[in-house]
Amino acid sequence: MRRKLMKYGYFDDSAREYVISTPETPLPWINYLGSNGFFGLISNTAGGYCFYRDAKLRRITRYRYNNVPVDEGGRMFYINDAGTVWSPAFRPARTPLDSYECRHGMGYTTFESTKNGIRAKLTCFVPKSDACEIERLVIKNESNAKKEFTVFSALEWCLWNAVDDAQNYQRNLSIGELEVVGGTIYHKTEYRERRNHYAFYNVNVPVDGFDTDRDCFLGAGRAWNDPAAVAAGKATDSLASGWYPIASHMIKVTLAPGEEKSLIFQLGYIEVPREEKWESKGVINKKPAKELMSRYATDAQVDAAFAELAKYWEELLSKYHLESGNEKVDRMVNIWHQYQCMVTFNMSRSASYWETGTGRGMGFRDSCQDLLGFMHLIPERARERIIDIASIQFENGSTYHQYQPLTKRGNADIGGGFNDDPLWLVACTSAYLRETGDATILDHPTPFNNVEGSEKPLMEHLRRSVNFTINNKGPHGLPLIGRADWNDCLNLNCFSEEPGESFQTFGPSEGPVAESVFIAGMFVKYGLEYADICEHYGSKDEAARVREEVAKVKAACEDAGWDGEWFVRAYDAYGHKVGSNECEEGKIFIEPQGFCTMAGIGQEKGYGRKALDSVKKYLVNDYGVEILAPCYTTYHVELGEISSYPPGYKENGAIFTHNNPWVSIAATKIGDGEMAFDIYRRSCPAFLEDVSEIHRTEPYVYSQMIAGRAAVHYGEAKNSFLTGTAAWAFVDISQAILGITPTLDGLSVNPCVPAELSNYSVTRLYRGVKYNIKVKKEAGKSGLFVEGAAVSGNVIPLPTGKSEVNAEYYI
């Protein structure tokens, strides 16, 4: 295969930024703005969209998927300098620039470009504590002559519900409403009826014109790259009524040589109490909007807000800090893994450039796993999230598969019946307890299916999760798979023959025969963690009961779940093996090799070693570990969606990066630090930067998949940003490989490292105490030392009355 090495940018670790040096990346390379209510997605040409809490139900700006030119829309700025029209972020004008640079940082993105003696710097971010996006455009005249030019901003409003906005034109094209007051354009569609919220787009200087009607701004038959108003250097002062409401400001600027001007644009979201909606008949109450505008009206205010954001990230990222001497590992651990964990915590799989924000909400299993990597960052929000997730569980322990972020209600359209789901609740609660020691969460009254009056302590939810597996086992004593397990595409009870039927919801979600070895692995791992929780904070009898159940599943798995050289994947609805040497295709799957080995199944019999050797032999490629081999070449009705993908893509044989860390963690479980690190490194974004030309997605974050060897485009990644890989990769490198792991009793140090990582230090904030841990090799020394004194075992005893602990570990 052709292997052209080329980079589109570079890491600037001291600034915690990825610097993109060309607007023409293979795909839009994006970033996320916002960390709480107001969110924006922003590409390296300032494309993207904004929403408040929920990308489907509260979409603020419009975005068109699958469109050409790619990534049109978003934050659009134009400078008309004596007839040359250009955009500081390259798009939408697409006029070649004299220089261009985009920096994606922690919660902000900047652009700096020059054209014909004008330098423009655009800074976009969402302030820490307000529901708005700030876009500051600083323009400087670097020429020797006076410059007179015109600046235009533009964005397109979404009519709130992004699904409806894209399809219900017969209604939508009549409902758009706005108000314009000076430099502020208020978007108030549907405010006249049931919406108690509006948005505004403002600039902090007097304007020389505006447009709010898309057709007037663009002109007949024209597109965003060349609006008629911009070309004419004159806004039309249009007031939209229906059709396509937009917001565009026009500002004339005159700059002496060397002079610069700052323009602060603000896109804000406002909720108004129902009784205070109106200022006068038909005129919206602008008081809260004006207050919000007054907080970002000056450069000093914007600087302060930007500094506050930087401080926030500085503090967050100081909670786990590594110095290993390996630049790429340090960069991923200290910056990008944790950053991506924050994004997946916020978004689950709902809104990216590949997840439209109109389909999926917060996934039960996805959100539970996202928490694993996030727990140390903001434990209070993790706690709230766990309760939200547990609240969509049903009385019998099963769960809705997703909930809508705005309403926090289970999403009935997507249904349930994925039998792995309940156990993930144990996984994240256990991680929360190990991180914080806050057992009060177990007493938190938590409803079932959000039904008032049904509240039971969270501990009871965990019990029902575990019981769900115990009560739903198949002929081999292995857990029944239901609609699917972690692998959404292993639909063993679906039997769909009609095109278009959703594998996720079609057919019965249950079946009395099809079993999952993967869920067996989960049950052993998380059943034991649940037993530990019971032992520590609850009933010893319950702990003993569950340990017995775990032993049964473990035995079943060592028997019916073992294929001789690796773990079987499942049994289908006919009781035939899936993922066995007996099969023609799909002989070996990654998931049970990782999970069952992590769970210690067959440990005494050497199953883990054998399974991982088989992984190496059949599944490892240049960029990671493939999900299965050989790929399915035809559709199998008894297997479902997995066999619907062409070989090498997605669940049919891609590197589905999410489960690569499981293999790496499994390798540490059997003490193989070299293999663990090798697997970690292969799919790790920073290590793939040199092959960006092949990989194509952002080199600072994981993508959901990288096409496998059987694919036409081997090595090409897809679906960047929203993947459980973020959390698992961080757990893998920080806890399993580097070995700094929270336990119920304290922080444990138990590295399993390759030779190249045998001298490093970690600072870790844990339960309010700062731990300085040094791991090294020294002849004649081994094990853990705390404040210079040897300690038996791996756990640093919880200190009392100290704010800092120093420990060394000798390998």
State the nearest-atom distance from the C-beta of 349 to ligand GLC, in Å: 4
Interface region with ligand GLC, contact rule CB under 6 A, candidates 163-171, 444-452, 487-495, 576-584: 487-495
Instruction: State which of residues 504, 580, 692, 703 lies at the interface with ligand GLC (CB under 6 A).
Output: 504
Q: Find tokens 């697997």 and name the residue.
A: 679
Distances (CA, A) of 232 to 82, 83, 227, 382: 11, 9, 9, 52
Residue 626 is a binding residue for ligand GLC (CB under 6 A): no
Q: Which is nearer to ligand GLC, 254 or 633 (CB)?
A: 633
488 is catalytic: yes
State the nearest-atom distance from the C-beta of 480 to ligand GLC, in Å: 18
Pull the structure tokens for residue 487.
């692998």
CA-angle at 809, arms to 803 and 810, nearest 5°: 160
What single letter denotes the amino acid at residue 294? S
State the nearest-atom distance from the C-beta of 488 to ligand GLC, in Å: 3
Kindly identify the residues of this chain, within the stretch 766-805, that bind ligand GLC according to CB under 6 A. Answer: none
Q: Which is nearer to ligand GLC, 113 or 350 (CB)?
A: 350
State the nearest-atom distance from the C-beta of 582 to ligand GLC, in Å: 24
Euclidean distance between the first and the last CA atom of the chain, given in angstroms as a whole number: 41
Residue 657 is a binding residue for ligand GLC (CB under 6 A): no
Residue 486 is a binding residue for ligand GLC (CB under 6 A): yes
- CB atoms under 10 Å from CB of 451, counted, come to 11
Candidates 213, 366, 370, 488; catalytic one: 488
Interface region with ligand GLC, contact rule CB under 6 A, candidates 177-185, 359-367, 446-454, 710-718: 359-367
What single letter denotes the amino acid at residue 694? I
Torsional sign, CA 682, 684, 688, 693: positive
Interface region with ligand GLC, contact rule CB under 6 A, candidates 207-215, 425-433, 481-489, 575-583: 481-489
Q: Which is nearer to ligand GLC, 366 or 698 (CB)?
A: 366
Pull the structure tokens for residue 433.
């307890």
Instruction: State which of residues 42, 106, 489, 654 lies at the interface with ligand GLC (CB under 6 A).
Output: 489
Q: Which is nearer to ligand GLC, 225 or 643 (CB)?
A: 643
- CB atoms under 10 Å from CB of 437, counted, come to 17
Residue 704 is a binding residue for ligand GLC (CB under 6 A): yes
Q: HSE of 761 in the Cβ direction (CA atoms, 13 Å)?
A: 9
Report how many helices (DSSP H) and strands (DSSP E) the chain contains, helices first. 21, 44
Residue 374 is a binding residue for ligand GLC (CB under 6 A): no
Q: Which is nearer to ligand GLC, 324 or 509 (CB)?
A: 509
Beta strand segments in 396-472, E: 402-403, 445-446, 456-457
Give me the residue whose beta carbon is nearest to ligand GLC.
488
Residue 209, strand partner residues: 250
Kindly identify the residues of this chain, within the stretch 68-87, that bind ligand GLC according to CB under 6 A. Answer: none
Instruction: State which of residues 488, 549, 672, 808 lies at the interface with ligand GLC (CB under 6 A).
Output: 488
Residue 732 is a binding residue for ligand GLC (CB under 6 A): no
| Size of interface with ligand GLC, in residues (CB under 6 A) | 13
Pull the structure tokens for residue 751.
């590295």
| Cα distance between residue 738 and residue 749, in whole Å | 8
3-state secondary structure of 145: coil
Report the candidate in 692, 797, 796, 697 with the shortest Cα–Cα distance to residue 739. Answer: 796
Kindly identify the residues of this chain, within the stretch 637-656, that bind ligand GLC according to CB under 6 A. Answer: 641, 650-651
State the nearest-atom distance from the C-beta of 704 to ligand GLC, in Å: 6
Residue 569 is a binding residue for ligand GLC (CB under 6 A): no
Instruction: State which of residues 349, 434, 476, 577 lies at the interface with ligand GLC (CB under 6 A).
Output: 349
Report the candidate in 565, 564, 569, 559 with the shortest Cα–Cα distance to residue 601. Answer: 559
Interface region with ligand GLC, contact rule CB under 6 A, candidates 358-366, 528-536, 775-783, 799-807: 358-366
Q: Which is nearer to ligand GLC, 316 or 729 (CB)?
A: 729
Residue 365 is a binding residue for ligand GLC (CB under 6 A): yes
ω into 699 cis (within 30 of 0): no
Distances (CA, A) of 153 to 81, 98, 156, 333, 436: 15, 21, 11, 38, 46
- The secondary structure of residue 16, as a DSSP letter, is T
Catalytic residue ranges: 488
Positions touching ligand GLC (CB under 6 A) are 349, 363, 365-366, 486-489, 504, 641, 650-651, 704
